[in-house]
Amino acid sequence: MVSMRRTVVPTLAVWAAAVAVLAVAFPFLAVHPRAHGHRADAASSSPGVWYQSLEGGSGAWTVANANGSIAAAATVPGDVHTALYSAGLIPDPYWRDNDVTYRWVALDDWTYSMKFVADSGLLLNKVVMLVCEGLDTVATVTLNSVQIGQTDNQFRRYSWDVSNVITSGYNTISIKFQSAATYAADKAQAYPYSVPFTAYPTQEPYRNFIRKSQCSFAWDWGPCFIPQGIWKAIGLQSYSEAVITDSSVQIFPVSSSIFTVMSRVELTATAGATGKLVASIPDLGVSASQQVTLQEGSNWIIVNLTCQNPDLWWPVGLGPSTRKIYELQLTFTGGLLSESSISRNVGFRDVKVVQDELSDGESFYFTVNGVPVFAKGANWIPADSFHSRVTHDILQALLQSAVDANMNIVRVWGGGIYQNDEFYDLADEMGLMVWQEFMFACSLYPRDKTFLANVAEEVAQQVRRLESHPSVVIWGANNENEVALAGWYEESNENKQLYTVDYSILYINTIRTSVRNEDMTRDFQSSSPTNAPLVDSNEMWVGRWGDGNSETSGDLHFYSGSDCWDVDTFPNPRFASEYGYQSFPSMYTWSEATDPSDWYIDSPMMEHRQHSPSWNEMLDDMISLHFKFPANPDATQQFEYYVYVSQIVQGLCVKYESEHYRRGREAYTTMGAIYWQLNDIWQGPTWSSMEYNGRWKLAHNYAVDFFAPTLISSYEKPVNTLQVYAVSDLEDSITSSSLLIEAVSWADGSVLGKWSTTFSINPQTSSKVYSNTISSMIGARKRSECVFVLTWTNSLGELLSENTFFLSDFQDVSLPSPNITVSNVTSIDESSARLTLSSSTMAPFVFLQTSIPGRFSKNGFLIRPKTIYTVEFYGKSAFNPEDLLGNLTTTSLRETYI
């Protein structure tokens, strides 16, 4: 966790003996150094601390249902569904409607079990602990038929002393999981009053009564699987004196160049153990130490470092192009020379959330190292229902795609999971800020003492795990639960006082207190959306109850089926942290989970995969508002065109709204645009800009431009008046730049008129640079005859931004049939190629697709005749350019008409 590497050192003889025993008896139980989580991993040189992993591939563990009628080999970390799928006992859970057909898996109880031989080095020490980084979720753990512990929280680390239970011979560990659905229902029925939650299609109810990923019970973009299993690392840890079992790292800015690193280290010890704790950052040449005498059990020790002139961490787009991540080393050396050490990645920056009073409310924006940052990004949901399938490569590709689309922030949404350590390490390296929520969403929650104590420990553990990451810039208590309290549910509307007390006790008294106990360096937000609190200090917190979705304070969520081409439909918030529109995934992705017999409009599978019931109809309406509804006598071809046009609609709507927020930086002090959502959990119609397999939808391609550091953007307001804004996130002024507006004929691509202006723009601002009446620009021509193409260049003629303004609905535009030609496919390197395109006529929304995994440098764009366009393709792995040319398809809007 958090790039923690525990170095534990047995003698060479003990090490060799242990490996020999394990290799003969259980070759799948290799004991080896690893960098993973809050674990002390085996390395070499002292018998004082030892770690033995109990993870293993297929064959190490078995999993069986309650009556023993179904059993399979299991991989750990993993879950029941993937174990059954790997064993051939169930088909692909994501195929068609298997999320419903195989619901019985989630409703049964399952037991993981394994036999193992304890490493002899492990047993040389006085104390042996079983350490479970994550059990999902309600489990009873036994070792050699002795119950040693129980769990009821997916997000907590559990450990138990098994010194008196473990033996030198064969040991049997058993972890029995109770169905989370059954557990949650039992808790809800036993509770003295109803606690409402938002329901979704194909769900199981009462998710708010269990500390488990809320979206595993279904969401309006995802399935209901409610997995069970050992989803994180598990192992045995032993020590004779003391071992580092946890740590907390807070970095306090003293000045712009001096920082204090406060390390709180938990040493779990035997009685009377002594030793020295050392904290150091080798790259800065600083270290400090503390001599300690320890009590039996948990001991928290503080060591402070003063760091001068470290390289500062900046979000991508500001500061250096690469970010310096430092290694903080924490090492305990016992009196008997046993050693336990961990390392944590740290970065130095000063982040604040500024909520100053304005004439009409309060501001809301981030500053990093004193520089205001316009936050540009998307919301992150779990990348899979089965978390063990989310590899490092998947995380890296998704987050790199965010950076490639000029994002500088992702919001880890509160209905999923706290992401694994690799996610935050990657965000640190890439310069992506992380808005981190705690895992509560779209529900009210109980407040009995047991639940609150469970939550407090969950929050403390997660804050300690994540707080060293410079990428994490804010803690958020929940997603939308404040606005839910204000009016979503009949129960809370009828008894507002009861549920308001519940809300305050959970999020303020419990979660905020737990956060503040662990981290004083970041802002805490009581919900998203929410207004700025009246008072937020060490002494007290006072919120602004009422409309938590205000345009003049805090952050805002906005969803609408209204006409996104009309700028008046959008709010003018301080910070838009959720907004979005749906589309269907490409046919390449859709075909991974559906049968060709499903490929027609309004098919049962199209309805089943749509978990927001109104959105299929809304998509139809949004298409019909500005486009001709896709038509073709071949039902499959019609559906493929429907999928394509749905992505055009989504892409334009997200583009128009995002550009509206960026233009509002000066006029409305809008300082953030985080759309819903970046990624997908499965193959279905959702708000994502990236598909489940990582393919970019058109919306993500458009994000490259609408989140670019420099943007030229236009809209019509009032009617018949074109307004053009330039937006710059650059740290330097742009002087003597030029705007060119061309009226281009749809009929033949000829330029019907040109208008230009020269202007300069200050750093990090938005400014109106041109205004004119449309009727005076196009004269007697109909609006449907042409499109405006806007080009912004700097004083050297280099392109800063290009954009289009559609003057009419495409229903009214007479588009000629294009003849798009792809030629000159040349290799850049083994995994990328360059190709050129041209068209005989105007071709809007040209969509390039290939079966080769990867993405194009641009997509969904306008091709003008007699113009050569160069596009690059970046593959996920090596490919032959001839293969790319051979299976490349192009689609443009005209092809969707009969």
Average pLDDT estimate for 750-772: 97
Q: What is the value of pTM for the model shown?
A: 0.94
> In the predicted model, what is the mean pLDDT of residues 33-46?
34
Instruction: Give the whole-angstrom CA distance, residue 649 versus residue 581.
Output: 8
Q: Tell me the percentage of the chain whose pLDDT exceeds 70.
A: 95
Active-site residue, from 339, 480, 657, 785: 480
Q: Is the pLDDT of residue 34 over 50?
A: no
Q: Which residues of 444-460 are buried (b: 16+ CB within 10 A; e: fewer)?
A: bbbbeeebbebbbbbbb
Per-residue pLDDT of 121-174, as tens digits, reads: 999 999 999 999 999 999 999 999 999 999 999 999 999 999 999 999 899 999
The residues, ordered by sequence, that sit 6+ positions from 146 with a Cβ below 8 Å of its Cβ are 165
Q: What's the confidence (pLDDT) of residue 116?
A: 95
Q: What does the pLDDT read at residue 258?
A: 98
Average pLDDT in the 524-545 region? 91
What pLDDT, in 10s, does the model give residues 278-310? 999 999 999 999 999 999 999 999 999 999 999
For position 471, what pLDDT does the model report?
A: 98
Examine the pLDDT at 628 and tell me if it is beyond 70. Answer: yes
How far apart CA 467 and CA 520 sit, in angstroms, is 10
Split at pLDDT 50, 70, 90, the class of 545 is confident
Q: How far apart are CA 624 and CA 645, in angstroms?
A: 10
Query: Cβ(737)–Cβ(686) under 8 Å?
Result: no
Between 58 and 182, the more confident residue is 182
Distance CA 40, CA 340 (A): 7
The pLDDT of residue 714 is 98
Q: What residues contact 495, with CB distance under 8 A and at least 6 apart?
A: none
pLDDT tens profile 554-570? 999 999 989 999 999 99
Q: Which distant-in-sequence residues (6+ apart) come within 8 Å of 362 by Cβ?
A: 355, 356, 531, 532, 552, 553, 554, 574
Which pLDDT band holds residue 3 (cuts at 50, 70, 90)? Answer: very low
Beta carbons of 762 and 737 less than 8 angstroms apart: no
Q: What is the pLDDT of residue 73?
A: 96
pLDDT at 48: 85
Residue 5 has pLDDT above 90, yes or no: no
pLDDT band at 47 (very low <50, low <70, confident <90, very high): low
- CA-based nearest residue to 401, from 138, 701, 149: 701
- The helices-and-strands tally (H runs, E runs) of the chain is 20, 52
The predicted structure's pLDDT at residue 58: 62
Cα separations in angstroms, 321 against 160, 312, 326, 414: 45, 12, 16, 30
Q: Give the pairing type, strands 351-354 and 365-368.
A: antiparallel
Write down the pLDDT at residue 44.
31
798 given a catalytic annotation? no
Q: How far apart are CA 291 and CA 268, in angstroms?
A: 15
pLDDT above 70 (res 18):
no
pLDDT at residue 9 greater than cutoff 70: no
Residue 33 predicted with pLDDT over 90: no
Cα–Cα distance for residue pair 239/341, rounded to 1 Å: 13
DSSP string, 568-615: GGS---S-EEEE---BPPPHHHHTTTS-GGG-STT-HHHHHT--STTH
Query: Which pLDDT score, from 0 to 100, does residue 538 have?
Result: 85
* Mean pLDDT of the region 734-760: 98
| Residue 44, token pair as written in the block | 């070499």
* pLDDT (average), residues 465-482: 98
Residue 532: its pLDDT value, please? 85
Identify the band that residue 19 occupies on the pLDDT scale cut at 50, 70 and 90: very low
Q: What is the mean pLDDT of residues 636-662?
A: 98
- Would you place residue 376 in the very low, low, confident or very high pLDDT band (cuts 50, 70, 90)? very high
Residue 191 confidence (pLDDT) above 90: yes
- 578 is an active site residue: yes
The amino acid occupying position 603 is S
31 pLDDT more than 80: no
Cis peptide before 320 (omega within 30 of 0): no
Give the span between the Cα atoms of 828 and 824, in whole angstroms: 12
Q: What is the pLDDT of residues 686-730, one digit of tens each?
A: 999 999 999 999 999 999 999 999 999 999 999 999 999 999 999
Residues shown for the chain:
898
Contact 575, 530 (CB under 8 A): no
Mean pLDDT rounded to a whole number for the chain: 93
- Give the active site residue among 458, 578, 742, 785: 578
Q: Which of 384, 479, 333 is nearest to 79 (CA)?
A: 384
Cβ burial of 698 (10 Å; 0-12, 13-18, 19+) is buried
Q: What is the predicted pLDDT for the residue at 824? A: 87
